[in-house]
Structure 1
Amino acid sequence: MNLDFSQIVPYIPFILKGIGATLQFVSVSIIIGLFLGIILALFKIMKKPILRWFADAYTSIFRGTPLILQLWIIYFAVPQLSGYDISAFLSAVLAFGLNSAAYVSEIIRAGILAVDKGQTEAAEALGVPYKSMMANIILPQAIKNILPALMNEFITLTKESALVATIGYLDLMRRAQIVGADLYRNFEPLLIAGVIYWVMVFVLTKIGRMLERRLRKSD
């Protein structure tokens, strides 16, 4: 086998810097996706048809089109229409955050609907305002039930983050590609990138299981 990791050693610090770049935009995307996902989920269960229609249309569009297409539209097409350039980081955050919101909204909606209706009826009978009921009674119970699904979405987002290499963002994958092109050896840097992605996903999985155990103990 034509493998020589010795040539990769000087490039390892350069590749490792991609971890911070990847986690930076993924973390912001997760926050945006979670925030918008909660709003969309609430829209979907409200009695106002216009809000339900908007949330359903949003979900249909972002779940029905490829993530890389959404990323390229924001990075390449929007500047054409607006006349303003968008940085690779902002494009990545918007594309991944907006895409994640569509999936998170469905997860949260299912979690809310899974909460015993008696909780809602009791809160309404006691005169608890809708916002307070959702924030303090319904959503906390829903989050406990859907935490595994949410963690799975965040793990998927972390793996799919490699797509930002296509717009030149210096994430982990892009740096591995640069090293491969510089050395004319692609297997070694891509293998290193793959191991790093696996470690990140492994750590996220462990964190998710730890949170699940803590939530069970708090019941």
Structure 2
Amino acid sequence: MLLIAMGRTLELTFLSLFFATVIGLIFGLFNVSRIKFLHAIAYIYIDIARGVPLIVLGFFTYFGIPGITGVKLSALVAGMIALSLNAGAYMAEIIRAGIQSVDKGQMEAARSLGLPYRKAMSKVVMPQAIKTMVPSIINQYIITLKDTSILSVIGFPELVKTGQIIIARTYETALMWVIVGVMYLIVITILSAIAKRLERRVSYAG
């Protein structure tokens, strides 16, 4: 049961991270845009998504959205939306900071050579920015994996929720939480090792 639950936890994590990365890229670019309207949209989204606790987002997506639209969401979909919105805001800030860490002269030089803004951003600025983003992005991925435990409150059968179900049957509270903690630790240790290797490769490439 715990291994199946860990599989569900990883499924929720990877789906959420995919959409969070897309959201973060869009709003991160909005945040550094010279168009005030786009900058304002990014500012509002990031402030709201970071300011509202994840558990509240989870309740809203699982109970609030069906109440408004009449469309019932599964716990997986509701959890994915909540995690994506939450992590996406932090990813947007990471991407903004990474882009702004690149010397402005790089963009100016690319534009002076005749490159349009989009090409200058994708070909010149972003490759340099990614090198500074990688550690923060990996850290956010690990945080998102741990944040899946909060969504046990909406009934998604991830690792923590499954641990609670087993405890209700066996009353082995201490042992169960030790097992759950060790399972999280193993997965996060593996991810951290992969992240360090990736970070070294990016640094070497630079």
What TM-score, normalized to structure 2? 0.97
Question: Of 75, 82, 89, which aligns to 1:88?
Answer: 75
Alignment of 1:37-186 (within 5 A): 37-186=24-173
1:185 is displaced (CA, Å) by: 2.1
Residue 8 of structure 1 is matched in structure 2 by: none
Identify the range of structure 1 (124-133 vs 100-109) with the bigger mean alpha-carbon deviation: 124-133
Q: What is the TM-score when the length of structure 1 is the normalising length? A: 0.91
**Can you list the C-alpha shifts for 1:46-102, whole angstroms capped at 9, x where unaligned?**
111111111000000011110110011000111111111000000111100111110
Task: Using the TM superposition, give the Cα deviation of residue 141 of structure 1 relative to its aligned residue in structure 2, in angstroms.
Answer: 1.1
Counterpart of 1:11 in structure 2 is: none
Q: Which amino acid aligns with 1:29?
A: S
SS in 1 for 2:124: helix
The residue that corresponds to 2:191 in the other structure is 204
The one-character-per-residue Cα deviations of 1:163-190 (angstroms, maximum 9, x if unpaired) are 1211111111111111100112222112
* Aligned-CA RMSD value: 0.9
Matches of 1:47 and 1:121, distance apart in 2: 14
> CA separation in 2, counterparts of 1:34 and 1:134?
17
Encode CA deviations 1:195-215: one digit per residue, 9 max, x unaligned: 011111111111111011101
Q: Which structure: larger Rg?
A: 1
State the AA in 2 paired with 1:94. Answer: I
Deviation of 1:120 after TM superposition, in Å, equals 0.4
Aligned to 2:181: 194
Letter of the aligned partner of 2:146 in structure 1?
K
- 4+ runs of 1 displaced by more than 6 Å? none
Letter in 2 for 1:47: R
2:22 equivalent in structure 1: 35
Question: Hey, what does 1:5 align to over in structure 2?
Answer: none
Match of 1:16 in 2: 3
SS in 2 for 1:84: coil
Hey, what's the Cα distance between the residues in 1 that align with 2:186 and 2:124?
36
Q: For 1:134-160, what per-residue CA distance to the aligned partner results, in whole angstroms no more than 9, with x for missing partners? A: 222211211111211111111111111
Q: Secondary structure at 2:93's aligned position in 1?
A: helix
Q: How far apart, in 1, do the equivalents of 2:128 and 2:148 lie? A: 30
Q: Which runs of 5+ in 2 are unaligned?
A: none
Mapped to 1, the partners of 2:161 and 2:91 lie a distance apart of: 27
2:78 match: secondary structure: helix
